[in-house]
Amino acid sequence: MVKNIIVKFVGFMRRVVANICIFNDPNPLWRKDFYKKTIVTLKGALHIDKALVATISKLPRTSLTRHLLSIMKNLSGPPWHSSQRQYRNIIFHLRFALRSKDYRLRRKSSSPPDVALCHRLCLAFYRENRLLPFCRDLIDVIEKESPKRSTSAEAEGIAILEQFDAGYVAVRSAPLSYKTSLLRYFLDSLHGHLGIVYDPNFQINSVQILYDVVVGGKTVTNIRMGTPTREYLSRFQKAEIVPEFFGFLRAYSNGGKRHLYINLQRRRSTFLSDESRRSRALENLNTVFPNTITVVTLDKDSSFYHQRGGYRSFSYTKKFKEEFFQQVTKQKKSRCFFPESIKKKGLDKAFKDIIETVHGRYFDFRSTLGVRERHDFIEIAYLLLQNWLLEVSDVDTFCLACKDGIDRSGAANSLMFFYHNKHDTKKFIKDWKAITFAPALLVKRRSMIASRFDRVITTARRMLFQKQMRG
């Protein structure tokens, strides 16, 4: 017990030292540019013009119309000095519009122009912010400015994983102007882990589209986001779903669309962190919007996931596979969660088949596996399970979301993109690095946590190696 606490503390301090500086510019230019582009994207998606403003202005002056007019004024007027403040102001007015009495009375229909505009705003917020080119450019600049950039990574024909790893080294050793301050680092940790005044959307964690995947002949869009919840004092009150995500789901319901939410937060509280309230709030959406959203929780933090403690001795593959199946599918024991709609589609059989597929395809049915091999086994099985969930849920969008959408989520998004797009091309490598490294920089001004990155690169290496071996 004491040893584990010491190991965790040492690991935490190493991450702190690697990612912070004592003093720096709180709002660097590249971060401001990101939110300027986000606002421009929202404006373009909504098609705000004089005719729309006139239509809303003619409606009875209610709390709903007043906030909508304020939003349109923010979007169509001259840019603010602080684009982040402008972005936050838009969310502020959108939330008040969605909480207004007029919206609540007429929200079941999208026909009224003010209600329709609310839903268009929510859809634009979650569906339109495609800024991958900006993220690619950001990582390119950092790689060029980093004192530890690898010149070999720019050479033609270098292995994909070497280029990827060189990108991570460059981001970790980026100039101080790209890194967060010591005070901000600890404040962010306090907000997120303890749920004290924690509201990612409002605290400048912009939602963005990362990539598309094709599953069963259908194109499905990945949405990168932090948890769509807010808390003030998590130990004393429930986490609540933010109004704009409710608006997004109502718009989806009206349009006959579906979303798969794969939650990567803990279902159980710990001494230093409590994510259980957020997980419960998200899982309850299965009941509130049964035909619109499917919420699943996968474990990314337990002793089993990390193969620590008593699980380090699970070297016999048969015993490991049995425990893995129990950990994922058995609700009373599990740190995972699946709604009844997913269980009825044959979850148990599907996951048993996935475990056997991974064992045969990537480990040649070996009878023993080391700790790192079991790490890869878990990650690949999760990938195949996520793919199966996309197939059986028949959704239009999906997310792999943790607390902030940058570490657990960042690793999961990175591997999902790699799994569906692993091509030895310059564009693929640039996109892969941007998808993996940019979110942590944009949200927290740091690199992805090293332990999460290690799981990405070792798993990717195993999948790439097996692909080459099998031709």
Q: What is the pLDDT of residues 137-167, one digit of tens each?
A: 999 999 988 776 554 444 444 588 999 999 9
**Cα Rg of the chain, angstroms:** 23
- Quick one: average pLDDT of 457-463? 94
Q: Per residue in 384-410, pLDDT tens?
A: 999 999 999 999 999 999 999 999 999
pTM given for the model: 0.89
Q: What percent of the chain has pLDDT over 90?
A: 57
**Any idea of the CA torsion for 57, 60, 62, 67, to the nearest 10 degrees?**
-10
What CA–CA distance (Å, rounded) separates 266 from 280? 10
35 or 184, which is more confident: 35
Backbone angles phi, psi at 241, to 5 degrees: -70, 135
- Quick one: average pLDDT of 236-254? 91
pLDDT value, residue 467: 57
pLDDT value, residue 174: 82
Q: Per residue in 42-64, pLDDT tens?
A: 888 887 767 777 888 888 888 99
Assess whether pLDDT exceeds 60 at residue 14.
no
Q: Per residue in 403-443, pLDDT tens?
A: 999 999 999 999 999 999 877 688 899 999 999 999 999 98
Q: Which is nearest to 24 in space by CA: 182, 226, 133, 209?
A: 182
Assess whether pLDDT exceeds 80 at residue 368.
yes
